[in-house]
Amino acid sequence: MKLDKGVIIENIKTLFYALIIAVIIRSVLIQPFYIPSSSMEPTLLVGDRLFVTKYSYGYSKHSFPFSPPILNKRIFFNEPKRGDVIVFKTPADNRTDYIKRLIGLPGDRIQFIDSNLYLNNSELMKSRIPNKSKIYCGNRTIDVFKFEEQLPNGKKFHSVYLKDYSYQNSDVFIVPDDHYFFLGDNRDCSKDSRYLSSVGYVHKDNLVGKAQFIFFSSDKKIGNFLSFWKWHKSIRFNRTFSKIN
């Protein structure tokens, strides 16, 4: 059977155009992410797959695959809002993706006093709520108190703290210009802006995008995708297409 050279060329062109379109969508519009850690429980669980909008805060070199040096600053910048759940590149290597909640804006003063979070010398409002779900730290189940916290702009979300309040007091964190301060909702099981040597303050150019909604979620502790006979237990149907608060 003789192959038609024209057909081969057209197929290659089609694949090339499809690749270009996929890169454009991933860079400019939305990008899927997988949650590998428990640092954002109970908001995000290990096994959640979510979409992040790349256009929410404008674009920098980190908006593109492999962070090519094609932009020396952020363009079309939109200021993120306090309480947004954001994917960013860690300042330590400008390569690793982290996802945390935005707590501090430029110029803010942040401190933990007696395990309570203070923002600009005012304690964040929080009320304890019943916790009926398991909360993890890695592979360990941890004993926590669950709260509804409220930020000054009215944004409410759920956070958890170990019952022995292992992280009680801190120095004052003063957020520099053009930087942001992030915390994980699983407060005693999160490497975030409190740890200056590994994460610290995040420059606005390191923002990748805003987490919008979960499109699929599965519990790998029960079974992987190939274990189809366990799908009815492993797939978290109640989280599918749920908006991220």
Active site residue 159: no
CB 62 within 8 A of CB 206: yes
The active-site residue out of 54, 89, 100, 210 is: 100
CB 206 within 8 A of CB 182: no
pLDDT at res. 114: 92
Best CA proximity match to 70, nearest among 60, 56, 83: 60
Instruction: Please state the φ and ψ torsions of residue 15, each to the nearest 5 degrees.
Output: -65, -40
pLDDT in tens, the chain (245 residues): 455 666 677 767 777 777 777 777 777 789 999 999 999 999 999 999 999 999 999 999 999 888 999 999 999 999 999 999 999 999 999 999 999 999 999 999 999 999 999 999 999 999 999 988 889 999 999 999 999 999 999 999 999 999 988 888 999 999 999 999 999 999 999 999 999 988 999 999 999 999 999 999 999 877 666 676 677 788 999 999 999 99
pLDDT at res. 4: 66
Q: Which residues are CB-contacts of 36 (< 8 A; sequence separation ≥ 6)?
A: 46
pLDDT at res. 15: 78
pLDDT at res. 209: 97
- 3-state SS assignment for residue 120: coil
5-76+85-243 is a CATH 2.10.109.10 domain: yes
The active-site residue out of 37, 38, 39, 190 is: 39
Q: CA geometry: angle at 52 spanning 228 and 145, to 5°?
A: 75
pLDDT at res. 28: 77
* Burial letters 130-167, b for 16+ CB under 10 A, else e: eeeeebbbeeeebebbbbebebeeeeebbbbbbeeeee
d(CA 91, CA 93): 6
Active site residue 100: yes
C-alpha distances out from residue 157 to 43, 67, 103, 126, Å: 8, 31, 12, 9
Enumerate the β-bridge partners of residue 118. Answer: 111, 123
Q: Supply the pTM of this predicted model.
A: 0.90
